[in-house]
Amino acid sequence: MGYDYIHEADFAGFIFSYLKEHKADLRRETWYSYKSQLSKIQRFKNPLLFSDINEKFITDYHSYMLNVLKNNENTASKSLRVLRTFVNIAMRFGYIKTNPFQYVNIKKVDGKRDFLSLEELNRLNKYYQECRYANIKMEVLQYFLFACHTGLRYSDIKALSLNNLQGDYLVIKMHKTNYTVSIPLTQKSKSFLPKNSKGDRIFKIYCNKVTNRVLKQIAKEVGITKNITFHVARHTFATTSISLGIPMEVVSKLLGHTNIRTTQVYAKIVDNVKLREMQKWDCLVI
């Protein structure tokens, strides 16, 4: 391993060197995520030595993320899991002898999953149909609505090519999981496919930041007050599919989940919505 130039006590330097050497082995998004997480750790403590990594450091870092950076619990937990990955690498090479995470419980809470109701989805459909000219709003809304009807993530939409269209099916290896999914295309989902694609890519995709900014503008124009990001499309597909009575096992396969328990989170969301709506009966004056 090419780590000779690193100070023997330098945890951050060792991890950075390791990531640099193994860049080709990691997905692009994973590599940049790890690099970003390492920078985040260094903002908390720099220099960072192997001897600094103990249970107290982990607890203090967790507190720093929650109270100073104002991260939510899931964001902080994700950062701790990455730190644990870094620690495991250091342990593998003998730089850390005792596992500091041995008695640390990393929490995982169900985050808020915003999704569109059928009425809100229809508002966006109408907005799209009334677009008379090709512009950035129409282009972003086009691939967002396609994702609402197929459950694809942003990374999958971005990589979508004409080769993925096989008759009435969309066959794609999902970027996040490498899981191959075959999604039947409905007439509605087909209506969002561009008539003429330029090159091999189906959609003209803007970066995530621009996409989300445009979606928020559109949501405001049509009176949707929810915090709309591109991932809302995936949540919308899942909750709508379950509400329509599509079996959980089928929804799980369409989403590319490797564990049906991941899909069951959406069933809980749908049940909560049903409960909230049914409680309106209590407002009747008899």
Is residue 89 within 8 Å of residue 50, measured between CB atoms? no
Longest dimension (CA), the chain: 81
State yes or no: pLDDT of 285 exceeds 70: no
- Confidence bin at 133 (pLDDT 50/70/90): confident
Write the burial class of residue 6 (CB in 10 Å: 0-12 exposed, 13-18 middle, 19+ buried): middle
Rounded mean pLDDT of 137-157? 95
Which has the closest alpha carbon to 153: 205, 223, 85? 205
CA angle, 103 then 104 then 107, to 5°: 140
State the residue for tokens 């459909």.
125
pLDDT of residue 269: 75
Rounded mean pLDDT of 107-120? 79
- Confidence bin at 107 (pLDDT 50/70/90): confident
Rounded mean pLDDT of 102-106? 92
Rounded mean pLDDT of 165-187? 90
User: Alpha-carbon torsion 240, 245, 247, 250, what sign?
Assistant: negative
State yes or no: pLDDT of 253 exceeds 70: yes
Q: What percent of the chain has pLDDT over 70?
A: 92
State yes or no: pLDDT of 284 exceeds 90: no
pLDDT of residue 111: 58
CA angle, 158 then 161 then 165, to 5°: 125
Write down the domain spans for the chain.
Answer: 11-92, 118-281
CA neighbours closer than 13 Å in the CB half-sphere of residue 94:
1
Task: Return the minimum-mean-pLDDT range out of 5-14, 24-33, 72-81, 95-104.
Answer: 5-14
- CATH of 118-281 given 2.160.10.10, 1.10.443.10, 1.10.10.10, 1.10.150.570: 1.10.443.10
Give me the phi and psi of 243, to 5 degrees please: -65, -30
pLDDT of residue 286: 60
pLDDT of residue 278: 77
Using CA atoms, how far apart are residues 86 and 30, in angstroms rounded to an integer?
13
pLDDT of residue 3: 45
Q: Order of strands, edge to edge, in the sheet holding 180-184?
A: 165-166, 169-173, 180-184
What is the per-residue pLDDT across 198-237, written as a single tens digit (0 to 9) for each?
778 899 999 988 999 999 999 999 999 998 999 999 999 9
What is the per-residue pLDDT across 187-201, written as a single tens digit (0 to 9) for each?
999 999 988 777 788
pLDDT of residue 142: 96
Q: Looking at the domain that runs over 11-92, which CATH code has it been given?
A: 1.10.150.130
Mean pLDDT for all residues in the chain: 88
CA 135 to chain centroid, in Å, comes to: 26
Rounded mean pLDDT of 40-51? 94
pLDDT of residue 8: 58
Output 281 or 160, whichever has higher pLDDT. Answer: 160
